[in-house]
Amino acid sequence: MSLSLLTPEFIVERNDERCIRCQVCVRQCANLVHTHDQEEDRIVADDSKCVNCHRCVVLCPTRALTIRRNPLEFKENALWTASAIREIYKQAETGGILLTGMGNDRPYPVYWDRMLLNASQVTNPSIDPLREPMELKTMLGRKPEVLRVEDGKIKEKLPPQINLEIPVMFSAMSFGSISFNACQALAMAASEVGIMYNTGEGGLHKDLRKYGKNTIVQVASGRFGVDVDYLQAGAAIEIKIGQGAKPGIGGHLPGEKVMAEISQTRMIPIGSDAISPAPHHDIYSIEDLRQLIYSLKEATDYQKPVSVKIAAVHNVAAICSGIARAGADIIAIDGFRGGTGAAPLRIRDNVGIPIEFALAAVDTRLREEGIRNQVSLVCAGGIRNSADVIKAIALGADAVYIGQAALIAIGCHMCQKCYTGKCNWGIATQDPNLVKRLNPEVAARRLINLLHAWAHEMKEMLGGMGINAIESLKGNRLMLRGIGLTSRELDILGIKAAGE
């Protein structure tokens, strides 16, 4: 093997006066950055292995550590940036596809930050959520166009719905892509708060079946862990067609991660690669999707809403119209900033469209066709905070999925190395020594705190707008104004410019 041309991305700085040689950093780093030189009683760091996950920094009892970006510069070049050059070095050395984790980090515009919310002044009162009721409860599922009522009773029962106390759910994250402890934390938090978490394509671990009321079970192209008990175990079923981080791409859980528990949960042999094909091989068109939707409904006696999750791609509005007509009760759209445990870098950074546009286009299209009531819309892919949630709902979403935000809440530092399986925070790993670093109860508490905090903030924003029930915000685009957007972008988002 020839000399690697790659220089370290980060530099580990240790304040030697503070360092007490406790070796916490040595023990904590799964990437083996730190080593203890016994002879000199010194701790040295191999910068080239550092992924900047902050595990050592946070755990260092004397705050002796800092990680910096390596100040080493290439000759300035607007085209050949450091990352462009480094990526070529990597591929020239390995001959492989570049892999990455989490969502698209390129400096594309974040449209959430180009939309501003309204508030009441004089002509109508703002509502104080500390004094007045403020409702966030949301029901997802197909709604009939008309309710038939006779003698004070409904003539036809509603199709099955899922109830959310807050219009936020945890995105699909499989047991395999994340650890059992992380799955358990999500399940516990969802159950405590009254929302849903999603199994992803990882099957449902037997110990998590008790959280079924707050579980969306996913059926993806690999069908891992799917049997009738699985379908019946959750509150809803989601067919995963695509994922925002890697539209058009399947998944691959390497065999070395498929240990006993994952093997059992995914129903595959220990050590075998779990490969999810890019398409579902029984869905080559919309009519095939309809068959799968109805197969799942038949299998569960029409008791569970069926969701279809797709990545936001160019023709998303027409696709969603087809999905609604194919019988889906919920459509989840995952934007190009959606997270992942592993994706080819080029796909993640170049395929798909922003969720803000996708959501607006889909909501508009479904309304133009008069079928918006037939489905609930869930949007995902880079929702960072409660204001993003509020803006998404004003654009037309019923609820949102959060994945990356949830993982950050339980310790993720966005180092984007999920695919290595060496997550020092015990999240994206199956290494038992790393997994046990994540205490499910503590992690669940952090998630619950996050959701409660967002709920409070959402209530404040709603109250400011003079709204006391979240449904009155849904698709209420007059509550949004664009800033720094072209008139074409404003048209697609269906909003006015600030000042209009």
- Interface contacts to other proteins, rule CB under 8 A: 120, 123-125, 127, 132-133, 135, 137, 139, 141, 143-147, 149, 152-154, 157-158, 161, 367, 370, 372-373, 465-469, 471-479
Q: Which is nearer to other proteins, 195 or 343 (CB)?
A: 195
Q: How far apart are CA 219 and CA 280, in angstroms?
A: 10
Q: Which is nearer to other proteins, 161 or 430 (CB)?
A: 161
Least distance (Å) between residue 462 CB and other proteins: 9
Q: How far apart are CA 66 and CA 96, in angstroms?
A: 32
Which of helix, strand or coil describes residue 68?
strand
Cβ atoms of 466 and 476 within 8 Å: the answer is no
Least distance (Å) between residue 466 CB and other proteins: 4
Please choose, from the candidates 112, 123, 136, the residue with its C-alpha nearest in 3D space to the C-alpha of residue 467: 136
∠ Cα 21 25 29 (to 5°): 150
Q: Which is nearer to other proteins, 75 or 148 (CB)?
A: 148
Q: Which is nearer to other proteins, 2 or 124 (CB)?
A: 124
∠ Cα 211 257 95 (to 5°): 135
Least distance (Å) between residue 334 CB and other proteins: 24
Q: Which is nearer to other proteins, 143 or 257 (CB)?
A: 143
Beta-carbon contacts of 226 under 8 Å, excluding residues fewer than 6 positions away, are 203, 217, 219, 267
Least distance (Å) between residue 499 CB and other proteins: 13
DSSP string, 272-340: --EEE-SS-TT-SSHHHHHHHHHHHHHHTTT-S-EEEEEE--TTHHHHHHHHHHTT-SEEEEE-TT---
Q: Which is nearer to other proteins, 107 or 133 (CB)?
A: 133
SS3 content of the chain, % helix, strand, coil (to 5): 35, 15, 45
Q: Which is nearer to other proteins, 229 or 500 (CB)?
A: 500
Q: Which is nearer to other proteins, 169 or 245 (CB)?
A: 169
Please, what's the b/e burial string for 126-135 (b: 16 or more CB within 10 A of its CB; e: otherwise)?
Answer: bbebeeeebe
Cβ atoms of 231 and 206 within 8 Å: the answer is no
Which of helix, strand or coil describes residue 200?
helix
Q: How far apart are CA 241 and CA 248, in angstroms?
A: 9
